[in-house]
Structure 1
């Protein structure tokens, strides 16, 4: 009998160890809503397409409209617009808009019923992603190597975009926002996002959000929050240049490689 209970205990311990490893290695299993709300709005991007900036803009509008005297910061922005890949518990929605905005880097997921897909010129994405991943030690190769990398490179960008563009059950609750349009007409695009949700946001609210999330303000905010963060590399930043950069950083040969492998998808978004 004692041996029987030992075997049961060993099996149980093995099960819980396996479950912990599974949740550690696949955090989306823990953080994805087990019962998705029909009014969830997912902000989705391939990494380094500008979602941090968009998150700050949306958090600012929602705080203002909720009558809360608070500013989004790098230290606490996930309180307001959580990252599905890192947030174990999704926060209670703010009074406005009364539903959750959730940030994600996931390829197509049928549980995401309302999606704002933020896309950026993949040539700029590659340059920005390489600088970001290199500073964090995620990738040690050259930019040219990374462009050709199956996990980080241009083919990964194509697969991510195509997964959303070729959904098996196309949804009207899917809208593409180009980073370049957000950059050139921030107020107009932000107003459009809320109009999709049925809200007509006052111009002074939009203006305050745009000013508060300007490139200079974002840099100041990040520097302030990183001042005593001893875990980050000293020269690491989420906010890099805030503009196109691939012409300065990517060789002509690598640009040809990108267009060869991503040209058709780039055309869909108006990048070639």
Structure 2
């Protein structure tokens, strides 16, 4: 009888431990697919760090390798690299690589087993995010106001980056990609991403993906998909300059503020800052 009681108690204890673990993960479930797979690869960024461009590059490679006569478009990019914030019910993967790449803006999520973290100089992120949010009417204040906003500004960028840097368990399945490196040597970074997954992609496939996702082609693609879309604001463009926009758009005072708050995190990613310069 005592042995039976101990067995029941142990079983009950295991159940409650499992339940607590499940409940502890509930806040993270909203950014996990409804049917998660162990081979899901998450492309994670703070908004406006360049992930749309990266999804087009990856979609192009996957379509070519799948032997499909199709091009990625703004209208249908979520068919190919789905956005977890749009829906948790995701389309099936393409024949190549036979698993899903999933776009996410989520802070640290312990349920993501493979993560490519795309980072961009936060000074450029702030300028790009403001242009995007203000044009869509999401943000009503000035660029200076938004930089200081805890939900949208530099504090949010630091919290997002630090969540992945400090909370992620030591893992070989986490890799940082810098947007600036992707711009300067797109082909090499794209090959690196696939090498992480164990694939060697032919140079001609990489070349076609890079050419098809160039700035001019992305602008053409966006204009084509925006034509007759009556829901978009006038003159709205998702694809901007893609360069160092903060140099023309952010004041010296605001740059010092950004660098004072984010300087230590920026250095981790290799971004130089000079918060005391006039």
TM over 0.5: yes
User: Secondary structure of the residue that 2:56 maps to in structure 1?
Assistant: helix
Q: Number of residue pairs matched?
A: 247
Aligned-pair CA distance for 1:89:
1.7
Query: Equivalent residues in 2 for 1:218-237 (5 A)?
Result: 218-237=218-237
Distance change >3 Å, CA 168–CA 78, structure 1 → 2: closer
Contact 2:118 2:177 in 1 (8 A): yes
Please report how far the alpha carbon of residue 48 of structure 1 lies from its aligned counterpart in structure 2 after TM superposition.
0.1
Between the aligned partners of 2:159 and 2:98, the Cα distance in structure 1 is 33
Determine whether 1:78 maps to 2:78: yes
- The residue correspondences of 1:50-199 to structure 2 (distance < 5 A) are 50-199=50-199
Instruction: Tell me which residue corresponds to 2:275.
Output: none
Compared CA separation, residues 30 and 263, structure 1 to 2 (3 A): closer
Residues 31 and 86, structure 1, Cα contact 8 Å, conserved in 2: no
Q: Please give the root-mean-square deviation of Cα atoms over the aligned residues, in Å.
A: 1.5
Question: Would the aligned equivalents of 1:27 and 1:86 in 2 still touch at CA under 8 Å?
Answer: no
**5+ long unaligned stretches in structure 1:** 1-25
Contact 1:60 1:71 in 2 (8 A): yes
Write out per-residue CA displacement over residues 223-250 of structure 1, whole angstroms, 9 at most, x where no aligned residue: 0000010001021111011211101011
What is the TM-score with the length of structure 2 in the denominator?
0.86
* Deviation by residue 1:155-191 (Cα, 9 ceiling, x = unmatched): 0000000000012522210000000000000000000
Deviations 1:188-232 (A, max 9, x none): 000000000000000000000000000000000000000010001
**Runs of 4+ in structure 1 over 3 Å off:** 26-31
1:35 Cα deviation (Å)?
A: 4.6
Aligned twin of 2:39: 39
In structure 2, C-alpha distance between the alignment counterparts of 1:87 and 1:263, rounded to whole Å: 35
1:97 CA drift (Å): 0.2
TM-score normalised over the length of structure 1: 0.88
| Gapped regions of structure 2 (runs ≥ 5) | 1-25, 273-278
